[in-house]
């Protein structure tokens, strides 16, 4: 996956913490901790618990296997607390649809009381720097970068 390919670019001295419900990330760094969350969350151990535990481990980078309804709001909150360089994946047709999917996840996950789209979009823009679209090339069968949305510079202008 694209996220796995980025792993080789990370300073081996950085502390990495991953959180996944199915192990898909393979990290070479020795200074790593991989947390597993059951696919069927329980009150005992949830994504929110795992993310809170991960922050206590003081990571240089937090990798969330995939953003979904159960973890979106908590992951964005972490990104807004000075923990930079975090990465995750999300399935969407394009970067703009990814933003809509993130908003939908927050609403369905119950992360906020009575959120409005403008406030949620502002939260996303402050928490995420880039959305990178990967698509399968039908001719070659490879996965290629087809779009990059710079939320801080490009998307934020749309809100003004």
Task: List the one residue out of 37, 33, 7 whose CA is nearest residue 18.
Answer: 33
The CATH number of the domain holding residue 130 is 3.40.50.300
Q: Give the model confidence (pLDDT) of 66-85 as tens digits.
A: 999 999 999 998 888 877 78
How many independent structural domains does the chain possess?
1
- Does residue 120 surpass a pLDDT of 80? yes
Q: Give the model confidence (pLDDT) of 17-74 as tens digits.
A: 999 988 888 888 889 999 999 888 777 888 889 999 999 999 999 999 899 999 999 9
Q: Range of 147's domain?
A: 2-159
Give how far Cα 70 sits from Cα of 50, 80, 107, 158, Å.
11, 18, 11, 28
- Does residue 156 surpass a pLDDT of 80? no
Cβ atoms within 10 A of the Cβ of 69, count? 16
């Amino acid at each position: 996956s694209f996220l796995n390919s980025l792993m080789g670019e990370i300073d081996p001295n950085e502390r990495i913490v991953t959180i996944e419900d199915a192990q898909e990330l393979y990290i070479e760094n020795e200074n790593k901790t991989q947390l597993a969350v059951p696919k069927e969350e329980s009150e005992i151990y949830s994504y929110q618990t795992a993310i809170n535990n991960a922050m206590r481990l003081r990571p240089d980078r937090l990798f969330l296997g995939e953003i979904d309804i159960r973890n979106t709001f908590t992951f964005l909150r972490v990104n807004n607390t000075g923990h930079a360089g975090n990465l995750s994946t999300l399935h969407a047709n394009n970067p703009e649809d990814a933003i809509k999917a993130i908003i939908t996840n927050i609403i369905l996950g119950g992360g906020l009381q009575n959120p409005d789209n403008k406030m949620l979009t502002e939260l996303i823009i402050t928490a995420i720097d880039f959305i990178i679209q990967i698509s399968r090339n039908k001719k070659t069968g490879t996965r290629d970068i087809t779009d990059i949305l710079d939320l801080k510079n490009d998307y934020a202008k749309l809100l003004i």
